[in-house]
Structure 1
């Protein structure tokens, strides 16, 4: 029987201190060679076990095998020069030194397939795998070849589609594309961003999701959020077209964000991963707080389409805080599940 309100995470979980620097994004690996391969697999097993012990229904690798949610995929593509770096503005928020596109983009070999197969071997639960979305990928590079954001995104969509098809064949149940850039470049999202996303999911039979958030709990993001005013209505710009798209699930940030919950009405009919855990704070939500967020969402999302989730990835948090937050997510979902059962 299918679980009502199945819980999941948006993606990353903290890495163990022996694998990478804790509470740090882009943290370098502490192991090398075969030790690193073993270490990543050990960390994946731990991340899986922590999700299972917390009662998470749809599990992931916790992104233990990748350094960063965008660049780890790009590192495996040809046409990108990591030595020749340029400084660009990321999502109109902060400057970063990024690789340069120097030739045609191509995927010479699978990137995450072995890791996905390994995760599939460890569990019979539904598994979700996250890939960077085309628009967020182009926002983390300097393009010295195509000189067109749209064309570069389209090329990335094609290689993402190759990877996604192999992930599906490896037994992944939900493939999620992370598109925080969808909360920034609204005109481009509507002009070609959603079309690129649909190119990335072309031909897939597994479920597909797009995760659109306000970012990790890092200073550049929290500072930006302070400028957004009392209501964060960014989703309003892209939801109508996403509602018409072929994407199955939309993952968004609700708890402690200032997103007006009624914006969910714009994606009625879609499955929704409702972010009920704040990843920009070490404060542990109570099960009742999680339940409150889910109850509000249920006014606009049918119960069989609501998936309780975290707002974003939890890589920058401590392992203890992340564990406690996952427990709160499961406990809050259980409260609302029981209420729904009693109402019937």
Structure 2
């Protein structure tokens, strides 16, 4: 995997075409069915790769075009999860949601995304990244009626995720990212078993491994929660030292237009950092200079050869035009700082 200095990437999701699902909406239902849906999602995947190439991104992601949601689409393929038996749970201590039930031993037959990843690999010659839900975030999106232990279920999921990650690697994925927004909430669990479970999910991989931790999509429940966090968001202070000592290669974090103290990045010294320089909670397009300013601040705490300019989170709820403009701004801002560093 050959990358330039300050390689650019998105975190994950991109808006889907309006012919595939309702735009600017999370959990948007598909507008196609059966073989047409399969063809449509792969077409959208090709289109997302091309939009990223046009914007100038160095690392291409799938944009989550073949899945309805970053967690539940993966869970839909698991044995032992009953989607007809639903319970209401508190998601990351922020909002209530009706979720499926773990009713038996969980397992996965084959792979969920390997064929999709092979398709992405075939349509671009740039390095590609694929995101999977992390073990702790998976258990926070389910009701457990079988294991009776968050930790035990997380370890089961970690093994399944490792199976999937190895299949993605075989399909040509260069960076495998695990999304763990739950790491910003359940700090005792992160310390006691969360990071270890995540390392189990990466076991045996030769591909680069990343963990993404943010403050969430720009939806009301997340925005309301942020208002309670005060003038400094120091949640990362509890997780970063644990991740700095872990086997994960890359840590992805939120920074632009947030109250995360920039000095917390220094807790990850030695790791590669995907630093969010694009705010996904607003339609406003950042200027290249605003992106550059965020990156300059980060460079006081991370070496230039380890900095990956990125977005704060996924951009699925935004319009396609806004997302494309934000990607172009990210690339232009990174180019400014790249020239300064060089």
Deviations 1:22-53 (A, max 9, x none): 01111110001111111101111111111000
Task: Give the corresponding residue for 1:178.
Answer: 179
Q: Distance in 2 between matches of 1:137 and 1:61?
A: 20
Name the residue aligned to 1:112: 113
Distance 2:188 2:239 in 1: 9
Aligned pair 1:216/2:214, yes or no?
Answer: no
CA contact (8 A) 1:82 1:100 kept: yes
SS at match of 1:105: strand
Matched, 1:98 2:99: yes
Distance (whole Å) between structure 1 residues aligned to residue 165 and residue 68 of structure 2: 19
Q: What are structure 1's unaligned runs of at least 5 residues?
A: none
**Where does residue 154 of structure 1 map in the other structure?**
155
- Using the alignment, how far apart are the partners of 1:51 and 1:123 within structure 2? 10
Show the counterpart of 2:318: 317
Asked whether the equivalents of residues 77 and 112 of structure 2 are also in contact (C-alpha less than 8 Å), the reply is: yes
Q: In 2, Cα distance between the equivalents of 1:119 and 1:95?
A: 35
Aligned equivalent of 1:338: 339
- Residue 2 of structure 1 and its aligned partner are, at CA, apart by 3.5
1:162, distance to aligned residue in structure 2 (A): 0.2
Q: Is the 8 Å Cα contact of residues 82 and 102 (structure 2) preserved in structure 1?
A: yes
Map of 1:329 onto structure 2: 330
- Residue 69 of structure 1: aligned partner: 70
Answer yes or no: is 1:44 the counterpart of 2:45.
yes
CA distance in 2: counterparts of 1:2 and 1:175, whole angstroms: 16
CA contact (8 A) 1:291 1:335 kept: yes
The answer to whether the Cα contact below 8 Å between 1:11 and 1:312 also exists between their aligned partners in 2 is yes
CA distance in 2, matches of 1:69, 1:2: 26
Q: Secondary structure at the match of 2:242?
A: helix
| Alignment correspondent of 1:26 | 27
After superposition, the CA RMSD in angstroms is: 0.6
Q: Distance in 2 between matches of 1:2 and 1:84?
A: 46
TM superposition score normalised by structure 2: 0.99
* Residue 195 (structure 1) shift: 0.3
Q: CA deviation at 1:128?
A: 0.1
Q: Which residue of 2 aligns with 1:78?
A: 79
Unaligned runs of 5+ in 2: none
2-structure distance, mates of 1:72, 1:43: 16
Contact kept in structure 2, 1:76 and 1:109, CA below 8 Å: no
Partner of 2:204: 203
Residue-pair matches, total: 341
Q: What CA distance in whole angstroms lies between the structure 1 residues aligned with 2:341 and 2:95? A: 44
Matches within 5 A, 1:123-142: 123-142=124-143
Shift of 1:108: 1.3
Query: 2:218 is paired with a residue of what secondary structure?
Result: coil
Q: In structure 1, what is the Cα distance between the partners aligned to 2:45 and 2:158?
A: 27
Match of 1:321, SS state, is helix
* 2:4 alignment partner in structure 1: 3
Mapped contact 2:3–2:58 kept (Cα < 8 A): no
Secondary structure at the counterpart of residue 296 of structure 2: helix
